Chain A
Amino acid sequence: MSDKEPDNTPYQGPVALLTRVEKTYHMDSVSVPVIKGVDILVRPACFTVLLGPSGSGKTTLLNMFGCIDKPDAGEVMVAGCNVGELSDDALSDFRAKNIGFIFQNFNLLPVLSAYENIEYPLLLTGASAKTRADRVPKLLEAVGLADKAHHLPGQLSGGQRQRVAIARALVRKPKLVIADEPTANLDSETGAAILGLMRRMVDRFQISFIFSSHDSDVISAADDTIFLKDGRIRGIKRKGAEASP
């Protein structure tokens, strides 16, 4: 792995691009191929859904988009950068700057308040106090939690926690937000509300979202839907176009 630093020049092309990506998990003496030569392009400011049953490879692909996992073969480009060439530290910095994460279990830091959880990624990138004081309250308001700023995650409901997680993912204005089944642990009403919120965030902040789901109801909210099964793409549906294999 080289120590090449990420390219910081403005990038206008696809937000993310997977080319002939393959991934196999090895457990003891058993090898399980989970991604088998996948090509995916994520368009800017689009709401992209990876749809498929359990074991279809959704999470593995999201991990590669999120630069927290590497393919065995193929290439991963995010924001114009071939992330496979980055060192671990450079990759951390790249994630801090370009990628936001929303997890199924919210994954908020339990010792930090809602405000501090949202502020934390900014502290990691050394944002000034002024920037933080300007951006965090706006996001809290955008996700409808202005009055819960000083609540700890343990004092918030599941839906509220996920709202905080969304705000945390957006606070650094990333190129791409990764959301792994963000509504799986929420009731259907709250899940729908969170989905609606994410959709609004895409439109408002012009940030690409890519998230996984096995619930076909989310298709209506998505710009692009990628159908996965057994580690292969079974179809891609872009809004206003026909599904293709």
Chain B
Amino acid sequence: MMTLSLAVRNLLRNRRRSLATLLAMAIGSTSILLFGGYSANINYTMHTEYVQSGGHLQIQHRDFYLYGSGNPTAYAIADYTKIIADIKNDAVLKDMVQVITPTLQFGGIAGNYAAGVSRTIVGNGLVAKDINQMRRWNDFNLRTGSPPFALEGAAADAAIVGTGVARVLLLCEALKIANCPTPEAETPSDGDKLPDDIAQLGSLESQPASKTTNANDAGRIEVLAGTAKGAPNVASLKVIRAEEQGFKELDEIYIMMHLAQAQQLIYGSTPPKVSSIILQLSHSEQIPQALERIQPILAKYSKTQPLAVLDFKTLNPFYVQTIQMFDTIFGFIFALIGAIVLFTVGNTMNTAVVERTVEIGTLRAIGLRRAGIRQLFVTEGALLGLTGALLGVILALVVSGIVNQMGLTWAAPGSVVPLPLTLTVWGEYKMMVGTTVGLICIAILSAWVPAYRAAQLKVVDALRHV
């Protein structure tokens, strides 16, 4: 108590120097916390988007994750309704699982034959009602919200495509997509001109097609895919909406349709299968417990089909890589600011030791041990660290509160809508405590060397100091 009281008074003795040190620490602490808040928000936003679109867990054929994209139907799950029923009936899982829904993924070719264009696609058959429910998951109470899934309540042949697919298949006008340019038609050169008789025949040939391109057919495409047995099959789909998929590569190949429609296309009259069963839990923390419960259920089916359950982090390595990158940057910033704090506090304490050398000699002469001197200066460093870090926390909370109220937005990689710029500092207690403790430790470390030097001073030399 005596040491603490003396340390506080010593810090107040040179207020300007203490204040400058505190400000340096507070600004450093604020910077760390604000970046941490920004990083935390990116984590929560991505986490939410992945869970909303693909759930927390997916049950797949054991090899679907590695090889499924080459031949999705070869790694499909049979008897999926039984598996879903088993999970729904599990005493523990039924309370955890918010949505459980099957999906079917396949590859094919989509064509707008009226416009004479086609392209390869990845089709996804979904249960629209379940997808809509999944999109409402918001465990982190983010201010952003996903748009409702338009396939719910739509006709059985309805489809949603990526805006890139719509652009390539010349559907922009029919779907009234903004900022979706239609290519200018190429004017044939004289050399390319067809002979008159051939051109006349060509115009006659195109007339029936023109007649079929009525209002009902606007936005209609045909999807060609190989069935499970290897034969080609075609589905005529009515594109009701185009949704941007974030990444251009995905945006130009993605088509979503009702699961029944996709199963009809791939399996026809044979028993339908699915590529994966998506499970969305109430909370992400339930993943380990859910995994533990699901494994024995899947084991029951191991004789007929090898199944595996994967969490959303495994399924989305980009998420993990992004979080790791931000964690690394956070660590780098902390190290930089820690170094600044180390030298700032060290300099302050060094100056204090020099200025108070005679005082150190006096204290030692009247009976204070070396350890007492060390304790005094280390306490002063720790107090500087604690006060600076706490000031930083308060400042970070104030700044983040102001920024969060400003309504700023930013575009995250892979996100299709502008996201609110939110700095999640409040509630990140682990980060706040970690930063505070870290800075206090750095301050103590930087005070230790001057404190040790002060304690090692010879009493006579210290008293003689001018």
Interface residues of A (CB under 8 A from B): 63, 66, 68-69, 88-89, 92-93, 95-97, 100-101, 103, 105, 107, 109-112, 120-121, 123-125, 168
Contact A107 B358 (CB under 8 A): yes
Please indicate the chain B residues that have their CB under 8 angstroms from the CB of A97 in the complex. Answer: 367
Complex: chain B residue closest to A98, CB-CB: B367
Contact B367 A107 (CB under 8 A): no
Complex: chain A residue closest to B11, CB-CB: A111
Bits for B356-376, please: 1 = Cβ < 8 Å to A, else 0. Answer: 001101111111111110000
Q: Is B463 an interface residue (CB 8 A)?
A: yes
Please indicate the chain A residues that have their CB under 8 angstroms from the CB of B416 in the complex. Answer: none
Contact B359 A92 (CB under 8 A): no
Contact A123 B2 (CB under 8 A): yes
| B453 CB → nearest A CB, Å | 16
CA distance A121 to B364 in the complex (A): 11
Q: Is B6 an interface residue (CB 8 A)?
A: yes
Near A by CB (< 8 A), chain B positions 416-466 give 459-460, 463
Q: Is B9 an interface residue (CB 8 A)?
A: yes
Please indicate the chain B residues that have their CB under 8 angstroms from the CB of A88 in the complex. Answer: 369-370
Complex: chain B residue closest to A64, CB-CB: B460
Complex: chain B residue closest to A119, CB-CB: B2
Contact A92 B362 (CB under 8 A): no
CB-contact partner of B367 in A69, A103, A111, A121, under 8 A: A121
Interface residues of B (CB under 8 A from A): 2, 6, 9-10, 12-13, 358-359, 361-372, 459-460, 463
CB-contact partner of B359 in A66, A109, A123, under 8 A: A109
In this complex, the member of B9, B13, B372 whose beta carbon has the largest number of chain A beta carbons within 10 angstroms is B9
* 27 residue pairs bridging A and B, Cβ less than 8 Å apart: A68-B364, A68-B459, A88-B369, A88-B370, A89-B370, A89-B371, A92-B368, A93-B369, A95-B367, A97-B367, A100-B366, A101-B362, A101-B366, A103-B362, A103-B463, A105-B358, A107-B359, A107-B362, A109-B359, A109-B362, A111-B9, A111-B10, A112-B9, A120-B366, A121-B367, A124-B368, A168-B366
Please indicate the chain B residues that have their CB under 8 angstroms from the CB of A92 in the complex. Answer: 364, 367-370
Please indicate the chain B residues that have their CB under 8 angstroms from the CB of A103 in the complex. Answer: 362, 463
| A3 CB → nearest B CB, Å | 13
Please indicate the chain A residues that have their CB under 8 angstroms from the CB of B13 in the complex. Answer: 110-111
CA distance A107 to B361 in the complex (A): 9
| A2 CB → nearest B CB, Å | 17
CA distance A125 to B463 in the complex (A): 22
Please indicate the chain B residues that have their CB under 8 angstroms from the CB of A63 in the complex. Answer: 460
Please indicate the chain B residues that have their CB under 8 angstroms from the CB of A89 in the complex. Answer: 369-371
CA distance A92 to B364 in the complex (A): 7
Complex: chain A residue closest to B10, CB-CB: A111
Contact A68 B460 (CB under 8 A): yes
Complex: chain B residue closest to A60, CB-CB: B460
| A233 CB → nearest B CB, Å | 21
Please indicate the chain B residues that have their CB under 8 angstroms from the CB of A69 in the complex. Answer: 459-460
CA distance A68 to B460 in the complex (A): 6
| B213 CB → nearest A CB, Å | 91
A96-B367, A103-B463, A112-B9 known, 5 other contacts, Cβ within 8 Å: A95-B366, A101-B366, A103-B362, A111-B6, A111-B12
In this complex, the member of A95, A101, A111 whose beta carbon has the largest number of chain B beta carbons within 10 angstroms is A111
Please indicate the chain A residues that have their CB under 8 angstroms from the CB of B372 in the complex. Answer: 124
Contact A95 B365 (CB under 8 A): yes
Please indicate the chain B residues that have their CB under 8 angstroms from the CB of A111 in the complex. Answer: 6, 9-10, 12-13
CA distance A215 to B66 in the complex (A): 98
CB-contact partner of A124 in B367, B371, B460, under 8 A: B367
Complex: chain A residue closest to B367, CB-CB: A96
CA distance A83 to B376 in the complex (A): 26
CA distance A105 to B357 in the complex (A): 14
CA distance A95 to B362 in the complex (A): 12
Contact A66 B365 (CB under 8 A): yes
Complex: chain B residue closest to A178, CB-CB: B365
Complex: chain A residue closest to B1, CB-CB: A123
Please indicate the chain A residues that have their CB under 8 angstroms from the CB of B9 in the complex. Answer: 111-112
CA distance A120 to B366 in the complex (A): 9
Please indicate the chain A residues that have their CB under 8 angstroms from the CB of B463 in the complex. Answer: 68, 103, 107
Please indicate the chain A residues that have their CB under 8 angstroms from the CB of B370 in the complex. Answer: 88-89, 92
Please indicate the chain A residues that have their CB under 8 angstroms from the CB of B363 in the complex. Answer: 109
| B18 CB → nearest A CB, Å | 13
CA distance A121 to B372 in the complex (A): 13
CA distance A109 to B369 in the complex (A): 17
Please indicate the chain A residues that have their CB under 8 angstroms from the CB of B366 in the complex. Answer: 95-96, 100-101, 120-121, 124, 168
CA distance A190 to B363 in the complex (A): 26
Complex: chain B residue closest to A107, CB-CB: B362
Contact A125 B367 (CB under 8 A): yes
| B292 CB → nearest A CB, Å | 57
